[in-house]
């Protein structure tokens, strides 16, 4: 055994199709080297993971700084657009230092929730007013460092954000987001380096924030690097209306016409779509990232996730605005929203919802080799207790149903990322006081 190799014994393991008792997993160099089934007792020296172990969860859509808005934005009424004004006031106060402190705490909260990789849709690039920092990627690097500090992997989805709306220059708040042109965005992004725990991807903020004539520049940048490309797509009907008015077509059609859709692309939300949009997204293999807790929090509406998947769009899940950080809640919300909409049950099995939260989520972030408990996969393990007040009672073989429909993030006992035990017995091993770190980081951003 080398220093980096170890053996885990999983009391119960979800193997993609079913739950099996007594599974032993050998790990070396951050990857699973062997999976032994039918091992009813832990081998000598194995680390024992009691409960149900899943592959690590992928949070495919995050804006780390929105965590500072939790609860604050629940006072009063309004819409997405009034919520956005409050969100901008926090964005105005971020510096590379305060952003690093906040993101470190937020990513630690994610690790405690069993998340092993995050897709950070990052657009606060420059100092207030739009002046670049000495290191033009100081903000992105702060997020990359934060993920390393919290022990999780990150796909930095560096976001192109150039305009306030169709034909409108960025407003005061948005100057920090803009590189001026997509060419300048690409030059800055090209300076970012991938590392063992880091992938660099691209994002188009939305069809309102990138002029149509510059969409292809972002798509080409991602294509040349075989990098993931994400885009907020049809979250709001007002955006659809403005896009139709400016371009005579829907946002999905506009993106397709400029080469943005395809199998490495993920549309985030995909809420207000026509049947033709659904066919276009599914037919091109473009993924869909649903963020149900944010979509309900912002009164966005319920997207046609079931129809999108039937059309060929792989599904992933994200906590987006971090109203809560709980991938089990995201997974069940997708199914339960569809039940409310259709008044029928059982649109996805628990296993299908877990696949969205694991393998398909990691793939949407460019980690094709994560999210399964198989030989060769990255050794990411998330263990959920089956003896809490929420999870006790059901037969262990119904562990997937228990995890998805009853567990919360608080039921995660262990999180192992690339063979490193980041959460042990419910405690973060790298960030000693996560609630304290969150409280301090949010306090620093209060007006
Ligand atoms: Zn978002």
428 included as an active-site residue: no
Classify each residue of 136-145 as buried b or exposed e, where b means 16 or more C-beta atoms within 10 Å of its C-beta. bbbbbbbbbb
Which residues, 6+ apart, have CB-to-CB distance to 236 below 8 Å? 80, 271, 272, 300
Residues, the chain, total?
Answer: 447
Amino acid 2: pLDDT: 45
Distance 420 CA to ligand 1 centre (A): 29
Averaged over 41-58, what is the pLDDT?
Answer: 98
Strand partners, 204: 160, 231
Which residue shows structure tokens 């170890």? 6
* CA 106 and chain centroid, separation: 12
Distance 232 CA to ligand 1 centre (A): 6
Distance CA 43, CA 36 (A): 11
297 included as an active-site residue: no
Ramachandran class of 111: left when φ > 0, alpha when ψ lies in -120 to 50, beta otherwise: alpha
Which of 320, 326, 337, 360 is catalytic? The answer is 320
When comparing pLDDT for 153 and 76, which is higher? 153
Distance CA 419, CA 187 (A): 35
* Contact in structure between 56 and 116 (CB atoms under 8 Å): yes
Distance CA 16, CA 126 (A): 42
pLDDT in tens, 222-239: 999 999 999 999 999 999
pLDDT in tens, 273-314: 999 999 999 999 999 999 999 999 999 999 999 999 999 999
**Does residue 3 carry a pLDDT above 70?**
no
Tokens at residue 390, please?
């929420």
Amino acid 85: pLDDT: 85
**Does residue 75 carry a pLDDT above 80?**
yes
Taking CA atoms, 168 is separated from 38, 48, 53, 81, 233, in Å, by: 62, 57, 49, 17, 19
Which of 269, 272, 322, 428 is catalytic? The answer is 269
Task: Output the average pLDDT for the chain.
Answer: 96
Distance CA 333, CA 235 (A): 17
**Does residue 1 carry a pLDDT above 80?**
no
* Contact in structure between 28 and 68 (CB atoms under 8 Å): no
Strand partners, 266: 230, 287
Distance 269 CA to ligand 1 centre (A): 8
pTM of the model: 0.97
Distance 294 CA to ligand 1 centre (A): 9
Q: 134 exposed, middle or buried (CB, 10 Å; 0-12, 13-18, 19+)?
A: exposed
Tokens at residue 156, please?
């930095």
* Contact in structure between 268 and 254 (CB atoms under 8 Å): no
Distance 425 CA to ligand 1 centre (A): 31
E strand residue ranges, 123-181: 153-160
pLDDT in tens, 348-365: 999 999 999 999 999 999
Number of C-beta neighbours around residue 262 at 10 A: 16
């Amino acid at each position: 055994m080398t220093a980096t190799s170890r053996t885990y014994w999983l009391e119960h393991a979800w193997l993609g199709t079913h739950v099996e008792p007594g599974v032993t997993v050998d790990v070396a160099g951050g990857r699973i080297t062997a999976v032994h089934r039918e091992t009813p007792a832990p081998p000598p020296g194995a680390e024992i993971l009691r409960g149900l172990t899943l592959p690590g969860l992928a949070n495919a859509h995050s804006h780390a700084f929105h965590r500072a808005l939790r609860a604050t934005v629940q006072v009063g009424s309004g819409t997405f657009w009034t919520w956005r004004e409050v969100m901008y006031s926090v964005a105005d106060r971020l510096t590379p230092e305060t952003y690093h402190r906040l993101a470190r705490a937020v990513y630690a909260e994610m690790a405690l929730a069993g998340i092993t990789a995050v897709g950070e849709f990052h657009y606060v690039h420059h100092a207030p007013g739009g002046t670049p920092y000495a290191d033009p990627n100081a903000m992105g690097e702060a997020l990359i460092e934060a993920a390393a500090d919290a022990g999780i992997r990150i796909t930095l989805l560096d976001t192109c954000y150039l305009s306030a709306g169709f034909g409108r220059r960025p407003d005061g708040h948005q100057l920090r987001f803009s590189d001026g042109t997509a060419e300048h965005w690409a030059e800055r992004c090209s300076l970012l380096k991938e590392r063992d725990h880091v992938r660099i991807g691209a994002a188009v903020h939305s069809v309102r924030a990138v002029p149509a004539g510059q969409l292809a520049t972002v798509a080409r940048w991602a294509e040349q690097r075989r990098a993931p490309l994400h885009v907020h797509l049809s979250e709001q009907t007002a955006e659809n209306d403005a896009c139709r008015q400016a371009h005579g077509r829907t946002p999905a059609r506009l993106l397709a016409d400029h080469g943005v859709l395809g199998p490495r692309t993920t549309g985030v939300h995909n809420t207000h779509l026509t049947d033709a949009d659904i066919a276009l997204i599914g037919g091109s293999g473009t993924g869909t990232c649903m963020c149900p807790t944010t979509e309900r929090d912002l009164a966005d509406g319920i997207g046609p996730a079931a129809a999108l998947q039937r059309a060929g769009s792989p599904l992933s899940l994200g906590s987006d605005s971090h109203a809560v950080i709980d991938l089990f809640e995201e997974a069940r919300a997708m199914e339960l929203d569809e039940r409310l909409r259709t008044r029928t049950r059982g649109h996805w099995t628990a296993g299908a919802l877990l696949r969205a939260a694991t393998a398909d989520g990691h793939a949407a972030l460019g980690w094709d080799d994560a999210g399964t408990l198989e030989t060769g996969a990255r050794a990411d393990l998330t263990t959920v207790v089956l003896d809490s007040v929420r999870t006790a009672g059901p037969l262990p073989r119904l562990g997937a149903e228990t995890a998805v429909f009853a567990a919360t993030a608080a039921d995660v006992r262990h999180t192992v990322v690339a063979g490193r035990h980041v959460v042990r017995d419910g405690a973060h091993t790298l960030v000693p006081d996560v609630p304290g770190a969150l409280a301090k980081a949010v306090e620093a951003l209060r007006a």
